[in-house]
Amino acid sequence: MKHRSDPAKRIISSLLAVTTMGFLFSACGSIPHDTPYTFRVPTDAQGERQWKVRTDTRDVVSYEIREADDGQTDVTFTGKKKGQTEATLCLVRENEQEQDAADAYVLTLVVDARRNVTQSEPPYGAYTVRLKGDVAGAEWHVECDEQVVHWKGDREYPKKPSGEDGMQDFTQLYTFTGRRPGATRVRILTSYPWAEGAESVREDLWLFVDADRRVMPLETTDFKSFRVSEQGTSAQHDVYEAVRTETGVRLSHFLAEYDWSYEADDYVETRLDETVTEGGEALYMYLAGLFRTCGVEKWDGFRKSDPRVLDGRMFAFEAELADGTKVNASGSNAFPRHFREFWRGLPYAVCKTSEETE
């Protein structure tokens, strides 16, 4: 009779099963379901620009943009399926491109199995400065180009032992997120109301924002000049050309055509739709930061082509670094590492119109 189970054991097992199922259904009932996420942004006061959203994975979230009555715009994301996506919010005129945006935010959105949407922390591409707060009553200030980065201040207090009195130490936090690609000098200062004119520089650094709006401390590869061009199926070449100046950099962007000149016995370049940007230190630092992050000095000697592609793109690059080093590279449907990131970052330099932080 070894296969016959004890009736008492069967009853206990059944009760446990019922209790477990009841607990699971009760727990499931308390878990949020289909909860959207709303991000608030300021509405353009003049009404000339509207917020637009771009997501890198369209089947993870849907979104709705609605202007509120308090001068804000609500961008609400609703989950479609479990996953993660990055959403870029840009404030642009009807026919403007993303690089022309007057304001921008990048969100990393996470959708769980129950289609609840949340924004992950820390914010996408953020860089945080942590400083010890050591003087009570000091006022904190941030100086930076706020067309390049957003910043948010916060404080972090350690756990205080029970019964302990007196002033608490704290950590002052500043989180910077990318608003548009560029470079900005950031100075964090403290002033003291009880001491007239007294001010202390707590942090002084440069931040670099790449074409994906990730923020990082700026490192540069200094240059004297560079020229880079791309050509597709058209006879025109898309060209960027920059020269270091005493105050910053002179950057030109134009379309180039080449026609044979019997007088010169050579092809002569004609520049069309040329835009010239006379930039200061911040623009130069951005371009030098692009050189560093994209490893431009490693491109020297690159000569490759992909014969399998009949209609594609060709590029040519030449530069002189600050120490006199020459860098030359070219290719057809083949590019050195990080070339695309370098090329994507250049339009933001041409479009720069903000006042540069000295």
Indicate if the pLDDT at residue 52 is higher than 90: yes
Report which residue type is found at 312. G
pLDDT digits (tens, 9 = 90+) for 133-155: 866 678 899 999 998 999 999 98
> Who wins on pLDDT, 171 or 13?
171
The helix/strand/coil state of 253 is strand
pLDDT at 356 over 50: no
308-335 pLDDT tens trace:
766 678 999 999 999 999 999 999 989 9
Q: Do 168 and 118 meet the contact criterion of CB atoms below 8 Å apart?
A: no
More confidently predicted of 132 and 128: 128
**What pLDDT score was predicted for residue 228?**
97
pLDDT digits (tens, 9 = 90+) for 224-239: 999 999 987 777 899 9
CATH number of 37-119: 2.60.40.2020
Q: How confident is the model at residue 221 (pLDDT cuts 50, 70, 90)?
A: very high
SS3 content of the chain, % helix, strand, coil (to 5): 15, 45, 40
CA atoms within 13 A on the CB side of 64: 9
Residues 280 and 82: their CA atoms lie apart, in Å, by 46
Q: Say yes or no to pLDDT of 26 above 60.
A: no
Contact 113, 28 (CB under 8 A): no
Question: pLDDT at residue 350 above 50?
Answer: yes
pLDDT one-digit tens code per residue, 57-103: 778 999 999 998 888 999 999 999 999 999 999 999 988 888 788 88
Residue with the two structure tokens 């936090």 = 173
The CATH architecture that domain 223-350 belongs to is 2-Layer Sandwich (3.30)
Q: What is the pLDDT of residues 4-19, one digit of tens each?
A: 556 666 655 665 555 5
What are the extents of the domains in the chain? 37-119, 127-158+168-217, 223-350
pLDDT digits (tens, 9 = 90+) for 244-297: 999 999 999 999 988 877 877 787 888 899 999 999 999 999 999 999 999 999
Between 329 and 23, where is the model more confident? 329
Q: Judge whether 284 and 248 are in contact, CB under 8 Å.
A: yes
Token pair for 262:
């019997």
Give, in order, the Cα–Cα distances in Å from 159 to each of 38, 81, 134, 156: 32, 39, 17, 10
pLDDT above 70: residue 55 = yes
Name the E strands within 197-248. 199-209, 215-217, 223-231, 237-244
pLDDT score for 98: 82
Q: Is the pTM of this model over 0.75?
A: yes
pLDDT at 355: 39
Q: What is the CATH number of domain 127-158+168-217?
A: 2.60.40.2020
Confidence of residue 358 (pLDDT cuts 50, 70, 90): very low
